[in-house]
């Protein structure tokens, strides 16, 4: 049996409306696999820490 290493990563960025280019504030960004979420700030910025298994 081979064990997979677990690595933490930081996911961050900005959310914008694709048609208007307006920043999306108070939008939820969600990672389904890790069940981690965060909300964008007044600039559309979000950041959260997640992990995944390296192969």
pLDDT, tens only, 11-47: 899 999 999 999 999 999 988 877 888 999 999 999 9
| pLDDT score recorded for residue 51 | 76
Domain count, the chain: 1
Chain position carrying tokens 């192969």: 55
pTM across the whole model: 0.74
Residue numbers of the domain that contains 14: 5-54
């Amino acid at each position: 049996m081979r064990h997979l290493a677990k690595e933490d990563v930081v996911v961050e960025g900005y959310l914008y409306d694709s048609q208007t280019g307006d920043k999306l504030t108070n939008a939820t960004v969600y990672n389904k696999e890790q069940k981690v979420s965060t909300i964008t700030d007044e600039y559309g910025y979000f950041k959260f820490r997640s992990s995944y298994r390296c192969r």
